[in-house]
Amino acid sequence: MSDFDFDLFVIGGGSGGVRAARIAATHGARVGIAEEYRYGGTCVIRGCVPKKLMVYASRFSEEFEDAAGFGWQVGESSFDWERLIDAKDREIARLEGIYRRNLERSGVELFDTRAVLEDAHTVHLLTDGRRIRAERILIAVGATPNVDATLPGGEHVITSNEVFHLADLPKRVIVAGGGYIAVEFAGIFAGLGAETTLIYRGEEVLRGFDDDLRQVLHEEMEKKGIRVLCGDVFSSIEKTEDGLIGHTRKGEALHADKIMFAIGRRPNTAGLGLEAAGVELASSGAIIVDEASQTNVPSIYAVGDVTDRVNLTPVAIREGHAFADSVYGGKQWSADHSMIPTAVFSQPEIGTVGLTQAEALEKYGAVDVYKAHFRPMKHTLSGRDEKMLMKVLVEPESDKVLGVHILGHDAGELVQVLGIALRMGATKADFDATMAVHPTAAEELVTMREPTERLRA
């Protein structure tokens, strides 16, 4: 009998930690897990899930408007923020319960406490001071929103941690940031009726995404009445009797009831005892791991956002699963971080997989671009001035599809399926040979015959 309390102790009950704990326990390991806030982690409690529910809520205003073009007369509508938040909270509590029960059913022992490392095998549980000895430790503590600590008045802003619990819907909102969380929340607030501004220090929103998507999203956000200010940043935040004023470097004074910062996230490694255990960190604070998610300390592993590889829920889950199978299930594998399909729940939505045009051109020196920018059928009657963008990038020599980028209704749903095709190495000829589904927007993907551009480096 080993002198360890557990074979595996997991710190963090989010996407990656919960999956790893359950799978390891299923393989027969004695597993404990500590969570300092709520089981389910960022995704379930204050990330993907509540956000998507709020995106749904925010879309109705346009649906009501669009209905008129189809003969509907929709009566006066009103929106009740408190009801939405209550309903969302009930759903999150239900999901949290499922996470807890699933862990318990798998035989995992749950500890509702913050846990910190003391050495390569010891975890200190802060609630009751207990010390746990484990043969292996998995760190899955996720990440936390960045705030600008040097910004005068920065204490008045909120982040995604607070946004899901505001007492009221703010009438005027400013979102600072240009990443996916920033554009998603700008869309949510605008859809719910708030006067919304997005301010971003970079040249264009959604750095790292295909340039056409970025530009078209910017235009579509403006059509929805969102003020999008790129190339500017707050220099101070002033609290007044009337709310907040965000002063910008370019000299604007932007008035708001709430200012939300979505300027990136940093790994949750501060105060975790990693130095004591000798775990190596990158300058970003991320835990450095190898392909097997193992740190430089052989008994300590890390998965998910804390490793800052690809910070998405399905990736954290895959990494946790691979770790548990490899170490406890006798089945060696690791998560593949290439060709990950992903969605941005902006309005309109984005779905993207594979290389951007710039990346494709840099890597292959030649790329054929098939692009369609069109008014979807629904808006012929709704009258809404909103266009859909579809882009297929092809390597001319091999005919291989290198990337697909979509902006428009259900782009996230579409790209899940396209991800399978691209992983299988689909060529443009495969796309062409696939019968169209008519009438859909997606049929554009298989009916674009001639490249709109033939780019050569």
Ligand X SMILES: Cc1cc2nc3c(=O)[nH]c(=O)nc-3n(C[C@H](O)[C@H](O)[C@H](O)COP(=O)(O)OP(=O)(O)OC[C@H]3O[C@@H](n4cnc5c(N)ncnc54)[C@H](O)[C@@H]3O)c2cc1C
Beta carbon of residue 362, minimum distance to ligand X (angstroms, whole number): 26
Q: Which of residues 130-169 bind ligand X (CB under 6 A)?
A: 140-142, 160
Asked if 353 is part of the footprint of ligand X (rule: CB under 6 A), the reply reads no
Site stretch for ligand X (CB under 6 A), options 43-51, 85-93, 95-103, 432-440: 43-51
User: Residue 23, interface with ligand X (CB under 6 A)?
Assistant: no
Structure tokens at 111: 């500890």
The beta-carbon contacts of 290-298 under 8 Å, at least 24 apart in sequence, are 291/334, 292/322, 292/323, 292/326, 292/334, 293/319, 293/322, 293/323, 293/334, 295/139, 297/120, 298/120
Choosing from 121, 124, 218, 438, the catalytic residue is 438
Of the chain, the end-to-end C-alpha distance in Å amounts to 64
Stretch that binds ligand X, among 9-17, 93-101, 201-209, 383-391 (CB under 6 A): 9-17
Among 21, 95, 174, 181, which residue sits at the site for ligand X (rule: CB under 6 A)?
181
Region 50-89 residues binding ligand X, contact defined as CB under 6 A: 51
Is 438 labeled as catalytic in the residue annotation? yes
| 56: nearest Cα among 76, 72, 79 | 79
Query: To the nearest whole angstrom, how small is the minimum distance from the Cβ of residue 327 to ligand X?
Result: 17
Interface with ligand X, residue 112, by CB under 6 A: no
**Using CB under 6 A, which of the segments 46-54, 78-86, 211-219, 328-336 binds ligand X?**
46-54
Tokens encoding 217: 């999203």
Give the tokens for residue 153: 């008045």
Q: Pick between residue 353 and residue 367 the one whose CB is nearest to ligand X.
A: 353
CB of 358 to ligand X, least distance (A): 23
Label the pairing between strands 172-176 and 258-261.
Answer: parallel
Number of other CB atoms surrounding residue 437 within 10 Å:
11
The dihedral region occupied by 105, where left means phi > 0, alpha psi between -120 and 50, and beta the remainder, is alpha
| CB nearer ligand X, residue 358 or residue 420 | 420
In sequence order, what are the beta bridge partners of 198? 175, 228
Decide: is 48 part of the binding site for ligand X (CB under 6 A): yes
* Euclidean distance between CA atoms 457 and 451, whole angstroms: 16
Window 418-437: contact mask with ligand X (x via CB under 6 A): --------------------
- Other beta carbons within 10 angstroms of residue 215's beta carbon come to 15
Alpha-carbon distance of 253 to 239, in angstroms, equals 12
Distance from C-alpha of 437 to C-alpha of 419, rounded to nearest angstrom: 18
Specify the stretch interacting with ligand X by CB under 6 A; choose among 21-29, 61-69, 96-104, 308-316. Answer: 308-316
Spatial distance between the Cα atoms of 389 and 410, rounded to a whole number of angstroms = 12
For ligand X, the binding residues in 364-403 under the rule CB under 6 A are none
Q: Among 7, 9, 14, 394, which residue interacts with ligand X (rule: CB under 6 A)? A: 14
Q: How far is the CB of 5 from ligand X (least distance, A)?
A: 17
Q: How many residues in the shown chain lie near ligand X by CB under 6 A? A: 35
Beta carbon nearer to ligand X, 117 or 390:
117
What is the rounded CA–CA span in Å between residue 156 and residue 266? 20
**115 belongs to the binding site for ligand X (CB under 6 A):** yes
Residues noted as catalytic: 438
Q: Which residues bind ligand X (CB under 6 A)?
A: 11-17, 34-37, 41-43, 47-48, 51, 114-116, 140-142, 160, 181, 268, 272, 304-306, 311-314, 316
